[in-house]
Structure 1
Amino acid sequence: MVYSREQLMEAVSAQMPAKRWAHTLGVMETAVRLAEQYGADPVKADLAAILHDVAKYWPVQKLEQMIKDHGLSSELLDYDKQLWHAEVGAFVARQEYGVEDQEVLDAIRYHTSGRVGMTLLDKVVCLADYIEPGRDFPGVNNIRDLANHSLEEALVAGFESTIQFLLSRRQIIFPLTFMARNDLIKQLEANS
């Protein structure tokens, strides 16, 4: 079945509390704006944003089972459960909602962690998730300001905010986030 945008929004919103759906709507709006500003495909940005948290409120046991049963990135199981929904969400987007565009699937998959070699769409969706209007955490306004001038600068600030938050709580940090941050800094240095 091919889902219309409205059917997709209805199916996804039914899987989360109203507050998380409001977040998703904010990510959609922000992703489209960033896509238009930086030259990414706004239709793809909108689609990835609609689906980015599709599995966020699934029971942890279901997420874990899907990762194991479908050969998804099992290294995630050694890290924070907050990362699992992105990997499962990309799988669900393909299997249940018929999304075939690898760029969209990757933007969903890496919206929490980032990755080395982030595509423009990866950057847009990841950053939109950080700075959508409903987000309120220390430093978010600085990240929003940076987003007006540079996706990369804003994402570095976002990843550093996440890393500092995890460090302050003595939590394990997913290596891909460090690697994504470092790769973005290399990109910035190469372009300066």
Structure 2
Amino acid sequence: MTSEIIEYRHHYIPLTRDQLVDRLQQALKEKRFHHVLRVEQTAIHLAKLNKVDVEKASIAGLCHDYAKQRPDQDFIAEIHQKGLDPDLLNYGNAIWHGIVGAELIKDELGIWDEDILNAVRHHTTGAAVMSKLEQIIYMADYIEPARDFAGVETARQLTESDLGAGVAYQTKHTLEYLIENNKPVYPKTIETYNAWVPAYEGKID
């Protein structure tokens, strides 16, 4: 996949792309930083395929893991300060870095576009209703070029031909993984499953 640098023109964020990349490089360890760069490029590709704003795809792809390596206390403080669902306190970073991370992005990076914020909020859990941008970030994180797990090629092919089928495939396999490994399932993940997987029955088996 060739790298494409998007020039930000629409004021979704009060930073240039270079400034945003610098902020991410400060916030993330090297391996995670390179992951977000790959997710950005995958998101731009999927945005073009699905006629979605590539600038939003670039910003959301870069920002999706902005808060991933923050200490737990940052998330807990934000949950209390913003009056977020107290049930979030029963989970951890895997859930927090998306749902609570979107609040930190708003506060610290000045992003107020709800489509971008929702793409960050839902990039691990999905949602019953997702915009095309949300679907793109959900999938770009899952299929970026360095991902290597059983089924990833199927996920890539499905996503390339039908974004919604990719969403259903990821959701089904994520839920299977959580159950097989006795992990807690965040309620929104079940809502995502119910909304997407039956709708693509026969296409994702």
TM-score by length of 1: 0.92
1:176 to 185, 188, 205: 188
How many residues align? The count is: 189
Structure 1: gaps (5+ residues): none
In structure 2, distance between residues paired with 1:16 and 1:9: 10
2:167 maps to 1:155: yes
| Contact kept? 2:72, 2:92, Cα under 8 Å | no
Kindly report which structure 2 residues correspond to 1:66-105, keeping only aligned pairs within 5 A, or say none: 66-105=78-117
Contact 2:43/2:136, CA 8 A, preserved across alignment: yes
Q: After TM superposition, give the deviation of residue 91 of structure 1 in Å.
A: 0.8
Tell me the residue number matched to 2:22: 10
Residue deviations 1:128-171, cap 9 Å, x none?
01000111222111111111111111111111221111111111
- 5+ long unaligned stretches in structure 2: 1-12
Is residue 54 of structure 2 the alignment partner of residue 54 of structure 1? no
- Return the alpha-carbon distance in structure 2 between the equivalents of residues 78 and 137 of structure 1: 28
Asked if 1:29 corresponds to 2:41, the answer is yes
State whether residues 155 and 166 of structure 2, in contact with CA within 8 Å, keep that contact through their aligned partners in structure 1: yes
User: How far 1:188 sits from its partner (Å)?
Assistant: 4.4
Cα separation, 2, equivalents of 1:73 and 1:43? 30
Q: Which moved more, 1:79-88 or 1:98-107?
A: 79-88
Question: Which 4+ residue blocks in structure 1 deviate beyond 4 angstroms?
Answer: 186-189
Q: Deviations over 1:45-86 (max 9, x none)?
A: 111111110100001122122212222233222234311011
Q: Which amino acid aligns with 1:35?
A: A
Which one of the candidate residues 37, 40, 43 is aligned to 2:55? 43
